[in-house]
Every structure is written in structure tokens, then in C-alpha cells.
Amino acid sequence: MTAVDTPPSANVGTTKLRKEDAHLVTGRTQWTDNLQLTGMLHVAVVRSPMAHARVTKVDVSGALEQPGVVAAFSGADLADHWAGGLPCAWPVTEDMQSPTHLPIATDEVRHVGDVVAVVVANSRYGAADATEFVDVEYEPLPAVVDMEAALADGSPLADTQLDTNRSFTWQKIDGDVDAAFDSAPHVVERRFINQRLIPTAIEPRAVVCAPPREHREYTMWSATQVPHILRLMLALTCGVPEHELRVIAPDVGGGFGSKLNVYAEEAICLVLAKRLGKPIKWTESRSEGYQATIHGRDQIQDVSLAFNEDHTIRGMKVELHADMGAYLQLVTPGIPILGAFMYNSIYKMDALSFTCHGVLTNKTPTDAYRGAGRPEATYAIERLMDEAANELGVEPFELRERNWIKHEEFPYTTIAGIEYDSGNYEAATAKAKELFDYDGLRAEQQRRRDDGDPVQLGIGISTFTEMCGLAPSRVLGSLSYGAGGWEHASVRMLPSGKVEVITGTSPHGQGHVTSWSQIAADALGIPFEDIEVRHGDTAVAHKGMDTYGSRSLVVGGYAVQVACDKVVAKAKRVAAHLLEAAEDDVEFDAGTFQVKGSPDANTTMQDVALAIFAAHDYPEDMEPSLDSDATVDPENFSYPHGTHLCATEVDTETGAVTIRSYVAVDDVGTVINPQIVEGQVHGGLAQGIAQALFEEAVYDAEGQLKTGSLLDYYVPGAPDLPHFTTDRTETPATTNPLGVKGVGEAGTIASTPAVINAVVDALRPMGVNDVLMPASPQNVWNAIQAASSASTTAASAADGGAA
Amino acid sequence: MIPATFDYVRAGSVDEAVDALKQHGDEAKLLAGGHSLLPLMKLRFAAPEVLIDLGRVEQLRGVCDLGDGRLAIGSMTRHIDVMDDPLVREHCGVLADVTAKVGDPQVRHRGTIGGALAHGDAASDLPAVLAALEGTLVAQGPNGTREIAASDFFVDYLTTSLEDDELVTEVRVPKIVGPWGWHYEKFTRVAQAWAIVGVLAMVKRSNGSIEEARVGLTNMATVPVRASGVEQALAGHSPDAIADAAANAADGTNPSSDLSASAEYREHLARVLTRRALEAAAR
């Protein structure tokens, strides 16, 4: 064999341009909505314009008279087709209250956008036009909008079938919280609002479902993150046997958790394909999606920290109100619960109490949105640490360093009872401060304060960690989650020396095809270009737990590595047999099997693959195949961390906030592809900054969504975001052989508090101690006005006292 | 995001467009760049039965010098072509500069000056410019053409004094002569959004003092507003008077409250941004 230009062992850790990009950026791709099947019909959905109402009449006959309309159904018409309501896989308490969630409501609608009827026509436009001829009569019911009011005695009910709006109260107490707070020299207490957000993936949801033709199976294409979970759940919901349903996630344009679900429209398309015997397509419009696709966040956080005299933390109390919305979707109740492990973050403490009230309201359901429970927790603790530093009169970094887990203390079991395997907060912080010119900016801040500059400078800190890579199945089971967290991979060695890697993860923008190729290339000694990665089709990747929670690399990539290791082990036996050597005498490196001490006695992985295909000569005690499967279930989560620093310029006259510089030093362990990691961090930062400064889903008192389209819901674009300075420290994870940690959500989790801390820091001399998110110009101006009127009131009260 | 069914008529000339308008009356809407109308139709806030497309009416595109101290800009001239037009840049730079802040590059490559003005949205940038420039619009209908002053054109929210059977054919702006400076302050939530408040200040300097000032306000009422009190307070005064004068910028306005800003905050912004715009324009 001659040497190759790039040694196959040098793929991991280097930037490889993404194999996916050429077809994605040129549009030569297969989005679900691009699919055209013979005889395909289009569904349009009639949705409730009211937040809460009794449905007294649904008459579809007018729609049936419209041109091109094939069928139209009310909820009652299809009620017999559902084996049950849409699933919630995370019953966090035994007595959790969960409204029955039929794909098409029959007698009560519970949020604007709830489905009341469907129209099927031979064109999308014809179906949409005909929806206006479906006659629905509503008897309005009071809308439950405010979470705290919803729990008060005498509140109207969000679901009249239940006798409470409290879905659950979930509690976890570690340590002696009373002791921690009772005699504490300092207690810092705050209420933070994590506003409701709308995920806004660039590709709206879309579903195509074809009835059985040659085979017995139904085939569904869906813009989903979770083809495997969807298959199982739809089988249970719609009464189609699991083995007769194939689910395909073709190219999917982002999800951020919003496509980690089982939606009414997916069940509807399956049932309509069954009932009408034709392929059925539904694609949401953006404004439809804003009502019908899950939202994120929406928590009220009452948090407090107790400190000793030496500024070490004694304990923390967390009480959450979490808005579930009108229904419990797939993992709705579990999202705030994930925070139970994260409020203590990187800090040591002796006690932590966490109480979460899940509240039902007449709004679109919430569920996983990038970070899912951890951004909310991180926001609260990192805001609270800044508030504590201010109240205690210490530098915010000093307070953090006083309390964080030292590098030499890892592995460290936190007060919440989970073990952080690795971390180096000191190194990430030192690097971030240097890149940021922390001391220089602090000096400039002081100058501007001294000069009374109308544009004040603020510096925001976020020293975060998170738990991701949702894996340990036993831990998920202990949290009442309905499934495990393992992942599966298969490696098929083709006779020509090429390789197919099959993964149970389901990428929708992450670049798994590229990263998994890099892992397999190094493990097998096969060129990167000779590897194809197949995914997202339950008929191809028969086993998987899909993609969410920054799990794909740490669980799915790990599975690829293990499957490749099994291939190598088999191939080594074959090579030893062919080379007439003892297996222990054969070494494998960079694709070559070499007999120790015999330079001419060698063969390659490709030659072994061909030999085993021919199967003329192979060890008698093995099957003629190198192909291997692996299903891995890591024993722990993954704990990426980092230090993010943000400098904002706040125009105190207008309230306008401009991010002047942003430094993100992330530690995601070993890196497979630096450019993909950087891309994940950039996108994550954009979404975290979006929560801090721009985005908010607003409902009025009647439960109408006021931010119903991109006209009113401000998703920032490139001109609204700063240049990002990103860098890394690498502290390998000890819980997987690759040493990797998740990166998909880190930027989002870290950046929101960094930005808000910076805004508050800029305004602190004016008496501002909090700013509502998003820190829009209006909200910042309101905070300044409130602080100045408070100081005026205080001054006049002092005068009055003197007089 | 799927509009209701409509019929489509492609006008080959202004006369054809007028004929179509006459035939269909208020059931028809004119389609220019479509960047305001089509989103309204997709949300079904607007459902015209007939769309009359002006996209192929070449006579409505381009800029010419009227020879009377004014420029005429064809109503179907795209924003990008207004911004880049040599006559506009030489004689009415303020229009080029503000047009460069309209929407985003996609909007500026599709949207037209006539469409933006005829939509009558006081949150868009050009109405305030036309008001400050004291420009006019030429409308053509079955009975011929008429010229409408900007101050008479904008009547109410999304309402102009155009008749149902008229279309805007031209926008006329004066050539700016003399030592004028100008500055447009556009205050937005995100870069491509409409202005929460916009302030166009134009200042003519003479011997160190302000000879004349004009202030046009975007999104401070249902129609573009001139801050006439500010203008009068500055005429003949030193630029030092700007801060005091700008404190009255919200007088006579009637801003709305919405998700981005309360009326009170809009008034505050108008005062701050007017001061800043005037200071920049007077430099």
C-alpha cells in the first residue's frame, strides 16, 4: 500500500467541510414539502380562533361543495380512529393532571390554534380556501392565561373536564435547606421571568403520509427530529401496527426541540391516508405554526441563595411556576424538571430545594426548546450570582470563583446528586477574560460612569455548565421518563472497501453525516470520502432514539465508535488468519493490519472486507461478516461548560442595547470537527441573545396570541448580532471513549444571562437591578424610569422624614 | 399564509391599468412591488378580488428632471434604483439616503417608491420624507391626471386621498439647493423591522445659524407628521437652540401603543431622536 495524503487516522479534530452542505445550500434537497406523490391530496386544518370555548356545532358540508374538495371531517367524524389522545411520555408525578388531547377536538377547544376540523382537497390552495366554508359554532369559556391566577381559588379552568389547573407539583430537596437559610448572614432573593418563546425553525413542519401500496406498510415523511419515537407513538395513537408503519425524516431544516414531538397533524395525516387510501400532505404556514407548534420557556422563577460571611453559598431555594399550555405534549412536564439538577450549576452548596408547579393554561403547549429547562435554570443562577455580588459588594468573578468546583475536585457529586465527570472552570475563565480584555473594559466602564456618558457600558458574565447527552436510561427511568436514552449504530463493510454507517440519531442541520464519517474513518482506517452515513428512516436505521438534548455525538457518536471497534476486532481475526499469524501478533493502525516484526506481512481493512465477502478463506469459528452493531447506554450525562462574557452599550436616553463584544470560551471536551462546533456555538449564541434582547410570545387577557407572525415576533438576523469571539478549552469527558461533550445547546444556555447581566451592569449606577426579557428598548427604558422614580420617591420620603 | 383566490390582470400601460381600475372599482388592488400587499393577503387581512399588476408598465419607471427645479420619479421605480439614480443622488440626496434604510436588501430590490407611498403606512420611511420635502404625487384616473401635495395625500392609517380608480404615476420632489444637511434617525427593534419611530431632520445653515429646519416624523400618528413647532423654534436661531426645540417634537403627534412601544415612550423617543437628527443634520 502507498501512503495517502491525509492519514485516515487524522480526521477527528480537524475541520472537514460538511458533506451535507452542497445539496443543502443549492436547494437540491428533499424537504418533506417538496415530495410529490401520484394522487396526493392536501389537508388544510380549521383551527379555533378562541382560546377556550365549547364547540357546539361543526358542519363541514359547506366545504364539501367547494371546488376540488374531496373530503372534510370534524372531530366527531374521526373520533373512532384514535386509539387514544396524543401522548405525553413524561408523567412526572403519579397524580399528574393531563387534558385529553385528541388530534381533532370534539367538544372543547383549549387554545387558539386547537384543531376543530380538516378539509382535504386536490390542491393546497383549494383546501385552504374551503376551510372558510366549515361552519363552527363556539360557546366562549373564560380563558386561563396567567399562571399564578390559574392556581388561585375560584379560577376558571383551562380544561373543564379537570377540577384544577395544577397539572402537578414536583419537589426535590437535597440537604437541610432550613438550616442553610435560618441563620444565614446573607440571603439574596429574586423573582425572574423566563418569557415564552417560539422556536421558529427555518423549515416549517410538514407531513406526507402514503397508504400501503405494494407492501402492507404506511409510509410517513415528516419534518421531525424523532422518526423512531414518532413511529412508536403513532402506532399506539392511531391503531396502526408498528411494523406496518415506516417513518422517514428526510432533509429537515432545523427543529430546536420543536420537532421533538408527536403532533396532531401527523396523526391526522396517517388516519386520513388510512381512511381515503390516498397520499396526504400537510404543510404548516409560518403563522399557523406559531399557534400549532410547541412554544418554549414560560416560567416564573422565585429563587434565593443563602451565604456565609465568607461568601460561600450555604444553600438555594427554587420555586417555579411553569406554563404547560393547554396540553401536555410529548415531554412538556419534564422540561422544567430538568432544571432540578441545574440550579446549583457549577457551585458547591450544602442544600438545594426545588419545587415546580406545572400549570395548565389556554395557550399553545410548551415543550423542549433549545436547552429545555437548563437555560431557565442557568439564567436564574447566573443572574442571582450577579445580584448577590452586588449586594455583598464583591466582584462577580470573585464570588463565582469562591464557590465553584475546583478543577482538582472532579469528579464531583453535586448537591443535586449527579456526578460532574470533568471540568476546568479556571482555565475557561482565564482564557475568556484575556480574549475579552476584561480589565480594559472595566476601566472604560468606570470612565463612562465618571463622565456621565449617556451611553453606559455593561459587562455580563456567565460561567455555566449544563447536563446533556440524554442518556442514562436508568436515570431517565427514575425521573419517570417513558423511554431510555441509549443509541444505536451499525457499520456495514461493503465488498469494495466502502462503508455505510447507520445511525439512530436523526440530524436536522447538525452535520452528523460529516462528523460520524470522521469518527468511522479514524476507527476503521478508511478514507473519509469512502464513508456514507444513513439515518432518519426507520426502514434503514431500524433502531434509534433520535436527536435532541445535545445527545447525538455523546451517545450516537459513541455508538458509532463502538460498532467500528467491533468491526476492527472481527477484521483483525480475519487478517491474522490470512496472514497466517497469531491474532495477538497483528497490529492495526491507520487501516493496515501488520504482523509485528514482519514488514512485508500486512493487509488492509479494504482487502479484509473483500476477502470476507468472497468468504473463501476465513476463520472457522466466525461468521463471514465484518458488519457490526452497537447499542450504547452511557452511565452518565455529559457536562459541557464555559465562560461567556458580553459587553453591552446601553443608550440610557432611548433604552437601546447594542452588544459591543461577545467572547465565548466553551469546553465541550474533545472536538470532532472544530468548524461544526463553532457553527453550533454561533447558532446557540444567536438564539440565547434572541431571548435576552428580542423575542417574546405575547398573549392578551383573552388568550389571543399577539405575536402571531414574524411581523411581531422579532427573530434577530445577522445585522442584529455582534461578531462572536469563540475559543475553547478541552477537558475530555471521562464518560465516553471519544471524550466528547454535547455542544448543541451550550451557546443558548450560556448567552442569555451573559447579555442580561451586562445590561443590568450598565444601568446599576442608575439604581436598576433587573430588566425584563426581552431587554427591548421599551423594557430597558421602563426599568430606568422605574428606578429613577423610586429614587425620587426615596429622596422625598427622606425629606419628609427630616421635616 | 395562503391568500384567498383572486383574478390577475397584467397592465401593459397606465391607460390599461386605469381601465382595469375603472372596471373593477374597489374590488381591485394595484400590485407594485408587493412587499406590503402580499403579506396582508397571505394573512387574509386583505382579499382583493382582482390584482392589477403594474410590473410591466415601463413608462412608470425611471427618474427625470422636470426642468422646474423638481425631479419626477416614476412610481414603479424600485427603491434600489432610486438610491442609485444619479439625478436623485445629485439633487435630492436625502431621498437616496432614507431610501437606503427602507426594509432590507430584498425589499429594496422589489419594493417601489409609488407602492410604498400609496400603501399609506405612516410606519414606513418614505411618507415622512415626502412630507418634509413638501413633495407631490401625480395621480392618474379616468378623468386625467392631478397633482396631490404630500400633506393632502395621507389621510389616515393605510388610507390616502387616491380614488379607487386612480393610480400614482409619479412622485415629484424639489431639487435641494443651498447648504442643506440632513439626517434620518430610524429606531427599530430588529434591523429589517419598521421604525418604532423615525425622524428625518433637514437643516439649512446660513452664517452659523439655522435658516430653515424641517422635521418629518415616522410612525408618530396615522399619517406622517411635521414637527412644525420645532421647525419654527429653530428658524433663524443658532444650533444651540436644538435641544430646547426638540423637547417639543412630540407636540401635535398622536402615536399608537403596540407591542414594541407605548405611546408615551414613542413621544419620548421622538424628542430624543429629533434632537439627535437635528444635531447631525446641522453639523
Fold matches, A41-141+199-292 and A405-467+640-803: no
- Identify the CATH number of the domain defined by range B7-53: 3.30.43.10
* Cβ-contact A431, A666 below 8 angstroms: no
Provide the pLDDT for residue A71: 98
Cβ atoms within 10 Å, residue B109: 14
Output the DSSP codes for A303-371: EEEEE-TTS-EEEEEEEEEEEEESS--TTTTHHHHHGGGTTTTTB--SEEEEEEEEEE-SSPPB---TT
- Calculate what percentage of chain B has a pLDDT beyond 90: 94
A178: which 3 cell numbers?
A: 432550613
What angle in degrees, to the nearest 10, is found between the helix axes of B263-282 and A777-802? 100
Residue type (1 letter), A698:
V
Q: Please give the Cα distance from B109 to A473 (Å, whole number).
A: 54
Nearest to A593 by CA among A570, A616, A615, A613: A570
User: In this predicted complex, what is the ipTM?
Assistant: 0.95
Taking the Cβ of residue B269 and every Cβ of chain A, the question of whether any pair is shorter than 8 Å is answered with: yes
Residue B168 has pLDDT above 50, yes or no: yes
* Binding-site residues on chain A for chain B (CB distance < 8 A): 124-125, 128-129, 132, 285-288, 653-654, 656, 694, 698, 706-707, 709, 711-712, 714-717, 719-720, 776-778, 781-782
If DSSP states are collapsed to H, E and C, what string results for A735-757? CCCCCECCCCCHHHHHHHHHHHH
Interface test with A, best of B1, B186, B256 (most A CBs within 10 A): B1
DSSP letter (8 states) at residue B254 = -
Interface test with B, best of A203, A714, A721, A782 (most B CBs within 10 A): A714
Residues of chain A with pLDDT under 70: 1-9, 214, 794-803
Q: Is A7 helix (H, G, I), strand (E, B) or coil?
A: coil
Nearest to A332 by CA among A353, A359, A303, A355: A359
Closest CA of chain B from A719, distance in Å: 6
Q: Do A777 and B196 touch (CB under 8 A)?
A: yes
A44: which 3 cell numbers?
A: 388544510
Provide the pLDDT for residue A797: 61
- Identify the CATH number of the domain defined by range B58-174: 3.30.465.10
Q: Considering only residues 176 to 215 of chain B, which have any Cβ-Cβ distance to chain A shorter than 8 Å?
A: 187, 189-193, 196
Q: Please give the Cα distance from B141 to B164 (Å, whole number).
A: 9
Ranges of each domain in chain A: 8-28+486-632, 41-141+199-292, 405-467+640-803
Q: Which residues of A touch B39 (CB under 8 A)?
A: 711
- Calculate what percentage of chain B has a pLDDT beyond 70: 100
Element spanning B12, H or E? none
Provide the pLDDT for residue B68: 97
Taking the Cβ of residue B283 and every Cβ of chain A, the question of whether any pair is shorter than 8 Å is answered with: no
Residue type (1 letter), A711:
L
Q: Do A125 and B192 touch (CB under 8 A)?
A: no
Provide the pLDDT for residue B180: 96
Return the CATH class of domain B182-282.
alpha beta
* Cβ-contact A669, A756 below 8 angstroms: no
Fold matches, B58-174 and B182-282: no
Ranges of each domain in chain B: 7-53, 58-174, 182-282
Q: What is the mean pLDDT of chain B?
A: 96
Q: Do A712 and B191 touch (CB under 8 A)?
A: no
Provide the pLDDT for residue A214: 66
Provide the pLDDT for residue A78: 96
Residue type (1 letter), B143:
N
A278: which 3 cell numbers?
A: 390516498
Element spanning A432, H or E? helix A425-436
- Identify the CATH number of the domain defined by range A8-28+486-632: 3.30.365.10
Angle (CA) A745 A536 A562, round 5°? 75
Q: Please give the Cα distance from B196 to B184 (Å, whole number).
A: 13
Return the CATH class of domain A41-141+199-292.
alpha beta
A242: which 3 cell numbers?
A: 408498528
Q: Which residues of B touch A288 (CB under 8 A)?
A: 1
Closest CA of chain A from B195, distance in Å: 12
Burial of A437 (0-12, 13-18, 19+ CB in 10 A): middle
Using one digit for the tens of pLDDT, what is the confidence trace for B262-276? 999 999 999 999 999
Closest CA of chain A from B118, distance in Å: 20
Select the residue of B4, B192, B265 nearest A778 (Cβ to Cβ). Answer: B265
Q: Please give the Cα distance from A407 to A423 (Å, whole number).
A: 6
- Identify the CATH number of the domain defined by range A405-467+640-803: 3.30.365.10
Is the peptide bond prior to A411 cis by the omega test (within 30 degrees of 0)? yes
